[in-house]
A = this chain, B = another copy of it.
Amino acid sequence: MFRFHSLLLFRRLRRHRRQFSSATSHPLELPLSHPIYIIWGSNTGIGKTLVSTGIAASSLLSSPSYFHYLKPLQTGFPSDSDSRFLLTKLRHLFLRSTGPRPSLSASHVLLNASSAVTGNRGNDARFPEEENVVGGEGIGSSRLFCKTLYAWEEAVSPHLAAERESGAVEDSVVLETLQRCFREVVESGVGKEKSEVMCVVETAGGVASPGASGSLQCDLYRPFRIPAILVGDGRLGGISGTISAYESLTLRGYDVVAVVFEDHGLLNEGPIMSYMRNKLPVLVLPPVPKDPSNDLMEWFEGSHNLFSNLREIMVSAYLERVKKFHDMPRKARDIIWWPFTQHKLVPEGAVTVIDSRCGENFAVFKAQSTEVVAPLFDACASWWTQGPNAILQAELAREMGYAAARFGHVMFPENVHEPALNCAELLLDGVGKGWASRAYFSDNGSTAIEIALKMAFRKFSVDHGLVRNCLEDTTNERSTELMVLALQRSYHGDTLGAMEAQAPSSYTGFLQQPWYTGRGLFVDPPSVFMSNNTWSLSLPEGFQIENLKLGNITFASRDEIFLKGRDTSELAAVYSSYISKLLSGYRGSNNIGALIMEPVIQGAGGMHMVDPLFQRVLVNECRSRNIPVIFDEIFTGFWRLGVETAVDLIHCVPDIACFGKLMTGGIIPLAATLATNAVFDSFIGESKLKALLHGHSYSAHALGCMAAVKSIQWFKDPCSNPNATSGGRLLKELWDDKMVHKISSHPAVERVVALGTLCALELKAEGRNAGYASLYARSLLQNLREDGIYMRPLGNVIYLLCGPCTSTDICNQILVKLYKRLEEFSGSNN
């Protein structure tokens, strides 16, 4: 529809093509010093450039200001150039302008181009390197900067042009180039008011048209999440196209601040405004003259008020966004009550404003000299739940939309729906494979644990003859005081039932849990860790006497720790006799109705790795006594430890296991308790009162089940997860072995545990510096925040958690940064 010309500065060519890779070498920041917008079209040829031009004109003509126009991807070049079109029209509009007007100086530039275009360069006089245009005179000076970032000759979609002209450009390169341009926007605006400088980025084709790498542009630009203007379609069929394009943008988390389209006499604005529920301005441009010889000057002048209006909308939405960022920390401190947080220790400046997340990164507001929205690697994996990279997050977003539209929520008892059934099948065939027969859904880890305890106690009661006559007993009388066998430093959730199954700790004092009594025998387990380059075993005090003959036990490698062959070792016999002695010496051992433990890694207790041999012996000892075994896999499940289930590490199975957190890919709460048929059978009878009378309204809610199905399949499939090996039961090693060793030898470090997506380290600390309430790690973590890494400590234990799909490159970068900050920390603490 429009035919333009443009200019050329220099070339940089990348041939390597990687689908939808937006991992850049530097973090991508969106500056907030001035309004930056992205212009999307609901189709190609819909007038995006007219809109860009109109906005530019309204900026530059009304008062002295700077305007940056960026066209990242241009095809049909050089005969087509949106940048050139805009410049030409602006120049003409300036020349026609009659009132007092600022002077205009304008430059346009082609940053990088594909080989085809750059091949032409030397021969084509149409591409002077830079052109300055000065027009008008008067009250001040305005400046227009136009840039085309990448261009191809053929007038087709960028991915096709790039392919045919061997001129592909990686997503990360486009994003980095764009970021450099944003920096120039900032530099140009030094000393200017916020609204005196504006930048628009004009996309190519429709919202979901592929970019040069083949990634859809709405995915490609997502890491910046630039506020958007959608140019809609006023033609027949345009209502549908506009609404669908809008939905594709919102499905990627974009905020659209206005919709604008050309009038074709069909009143498309009616249904579009009705769809938007009047929450978004919809602007209708006068019909564009179809005669190609028309220079559109009258059209632009006739549209001036509308574009001024649009520009005002853009400026005020921008100002409102910045204001919100400033206000949010105070508001949050005023009305929110954070969990696990002493509010007195959180000054306003310490509140992190999270604008969004993209894959493993938060995008946070930073109020530095230039305010920006900048990425932070979420090394808490949003408190242990998180798994998706940017691609999976986008897929999950579509799944969530679909699930909510198809199912909303439907109640579960005696019903079945596809997401719940698929999820149950996937769990039993994955984390429950080989032992579990039933899936019981609940909302979070705590509830999954409470359900598991009820299951185990029932099974125990049936097996040990405690159910006689108590079926109809609803009184308070308890014939038997059932107990759990559990480990010191365990943590199974925050609700009272889950709490009762853990040893006394900082979390269980009277002030925290007035009803806590700790109904269990809590065993201090042997732990393993890396220290000074070596994996060692640490035996608790109870072992000391027998330990004399064992000496100092170390392992040649981490793999050795997990060998099933250790069952025949001397240590196994020591463990077995230790446990037997413990149980026989315990007064209430006949009332121990369940063994409950986190296999391999104790999370909240301080990221301790328990000797898997000890846990296996414990399971065997309980099984021989007919005590049901519960694995709390809420933290450890779903590749958190590099395996689908920790069963693959400790080589023994439970009767009941609990899952949550990463199960849904870390997107919404859902938990499951899996059980054997034998456990299930202990609830079967003639009366409803024998059934498991525990359930939550949202049991097996469709959104959660669908997220779980998608995520589990995604993590398991080597086609989607590059880290998946061994048919999806294993992840490849994510943390660089050399770096882990190096860290383990650092003088500030007591111990390291690197396994799967977890890399934890305990800082050497004593007295008040040690333990859960310690603030010892604070300065270290603050420095890492500067490096773009967001961590949250467990006292003097700090950890990095990535997702099952996180690239080893990213993990390495983080370890290197951590080591560097450890050096400083060490210095400051000596």
Contacts and interface: CB of A to CB of B under 8 A. Distances in A.
Contact of A400 (B237, B239, B685, B703): B703
A800 B689 CA distance: 24
Interface string A476-505: 111110100000000000111110100011
Nearest to A519: B515
Q: Which 6 A-B pairs have the closest CB atoms?
A: A339-B695, A206-B240, A401-B401, A253-B406, A496-B497, A44-B237
A252 B402 CA distance: 6
A297 interface: no
Interface residues of A, number: 189
A205 to B, nearest CB: 5
B393 A470 contact: no
Contact of A688 (B476, B696, B773): B773
Interface stretch (A89-97, A129-137, A287-295, A327-335): A327-335
B416 A353 contact: yes
Interface string A679-691: 0100111111111
Contacts of A339: 412-413, 440-442, 692-696, 699
Interface in A259-301: 266-267, 270-271, 274-275, 277
A698 B208 CA distance: 31
Interface in A373-395: 378, 380, 382-386, 388, 393-394
B474 A506 contact: yes
A247 interface: yes
Given A237-B43, A388-B408, A510-B473, A416 B446 contact: no
B271 A210 contact: yes
Contacts of A414: 338, 341, 346, 350-352
A457 interface: yes
A248 interface: yes
Given A208-B243, A457-B514, A687-B773, A428 B248 contact: no
Contacts of A271: 157, 159, 210, 214, 216
A525 to B, nearest CB: 19
Interface stretch (A24-32, A79-87, A417-425): A417-425
A324 interface: yes
Contacts of A335: 421, 424-425, 428, 437-439
Contact of A438 (B336, B383, B424): B336
Given A454-B513, A474-B505, A697-B384, A690 B338 contact: no
A510 B410 contact: no
Given A244-B244, A342-B687, 13 more contacts: A44-B236, A44-B237, A240-B245, A251-B398, A339-B694, A344-B685, A396-B404, A444-B447, A447-B494, A461-B510, A480-B510, A495-B498, A668-B704
Contacts of A205: 236-237, 239-240
13 contacts: A42-B244, A331-B421, A331-B425, A336-B700, A340-B413, A343-B683, A351-B414, A354-B416, A357-B407, A385-B409, A397-B402, A409-B666, A478-B517
A736 to B, nearest CB: 26
Contacts of A397: 401-402, 404-405
Nearest to A417: B354
Contacts of A548: none
Copies of this protein chain in the complex? 2
A518 interface: yes
A372 B745 CA distance: 68
Contacts of A274: 19, 214
B251 A402 contact: yes
Residue among A250, A328, A690 having the largest count of chain B Cβ atoms under 10 Å: A250
Given A240-B207, A275-B216, A698 B514 contact: no
A342 B691 contact: yes
A762 interface: no
A339 B668 CA distance: 20
Contact of A382 (B157, B410, B467): B410
Contacts of A443: 443-444, 447, 669
A472 interface: yes
Contacts of A686: 342, 344
B354 A415 contact: yes
A494 B206 contact: no
Contact of A337 (B239, B400, B500, B675): B675
Contacts of A400: 400-401, 403-404, 703
A241 interface: yes
A628 to B, nearest CB: 13
A171 B466 CA distance: 61
A508 interface: yes
Residue among A245, A274, A474 having the largest count of chain B Cβ atoms under 10 Å: A474
Residue among A209, A516, A693 having the largest count of chain B Cβ atoms under 10 Å: A693
Contacts of A442: 339
Contact of A500 (B482, B504, B515): B515
